[in-house]
Amino acid sequence: MSAEQTLFQKFGKELPKGTVLFREGELGKEMFVLQSGKVAIAKKVRDVEKVLAVLGPGEFFGEMAIISNKPRNASAVVEEDARVLVIDPRTFEGMIRGNSEIAVRMIKKLAERLSDADAQIENLLLNDPSSRVIHHILHLCQTKGRAGEEGVEVDFPVKDLPRELAVGEPAIRFMVHRLERSGLVDVQGDRLTIRDTARLFDFLRYLEMKWRFGDL
C-alpha cells in the first residue's frame, strides 16, 4: 500500500461535486489536503461571491482557521468529485513540529497565495476586460511560467477563469484569439506560449491608455 493510500485510509474522505466543505464566517477546526478533483475557494464581495482560486491535487486549504483560530475568511466548494485528507489541529501541529520541510513548504505556499491575492486585487481594479485577461497572463508568466523553445508556457484553462477575472468566457476567448492573430501567443488547448512578454506588457499599457483617454 502506498503512502498516499495509507494517509487516505487514516484521514481521507470522498466528496461529490457540490459538497460545501465550509462557508465564509464559520468557525473551523480542520484543514484539508486535496488528493484528487477540484475545489473552488470563494469570497463574498459586496453581496457577490467571487471565486478566488480553483485548487487541484496536491493543494491544501483551510489552514488559516487552525493557525489564527478565527472564522473562515472564504468558502470552499467541491467543483469536481474529490478525495481529500481532513487534518485536525493536533495532527497539523504534529506535522509542523515533526517535519521542517512541511513547514517550509507551507510558508512558501502562503507567500505565493498572498502574491496571487495582491495580483487579483490589482486585476479587478482594471476597468477594461481585455486588460484583465492580459494582466492575468503576465502574472502567470511571472509566477508559474515554464521556459520553452518558443517562449514562456503557462496553463490557461479558460473555462475556470470567468469567475476569477469577472470576465465572460466568450470575451476571454476573443482576447486570446486576438493575441494569437497578433503573433503574441500560441494556443494549444489549455496552454499558452507567450513569445515575448515585454511586447505583451507593452500591449497591456496601450489598452490601459486607450481605455483612459479613448481614441485620440
Q: Is 126 left (phi over 0), alpha (psi -120 to 50) or beta?
A: beta
Residue-wise burial string across 121-141, b where 16 or more C-beta atoms lie within 10 A, e elsewhere: eebeebebbbbbbbbbbbbbb
* Residue pair 32/20 in contact by the 8 Å Cβ criterion: no
Domain ranges of the chain: 3-100, 124-213
Q: Give pLDDT tens digits for 25-70.
A: 998 889 999 999 999 988 876 667 778 788 899 888 988 888 888 8
* Residue pair 82/52 in contact by the 8 Å Cβ criterion: no
Q: Pick out the chain residues at pLDDT < 70.
A: 1-4, 45-47, 123-125, 212-216
C-alpha cell at 44: 463574498
Instruction: Return the CATH fold of 3-100.
Output: Jelly Rolls (2.60.120)
Q: What is the pTM of this model?
A: 0.59
Q: Has domain 124-213 been given CATH number 1.10.10.10?
A: yes
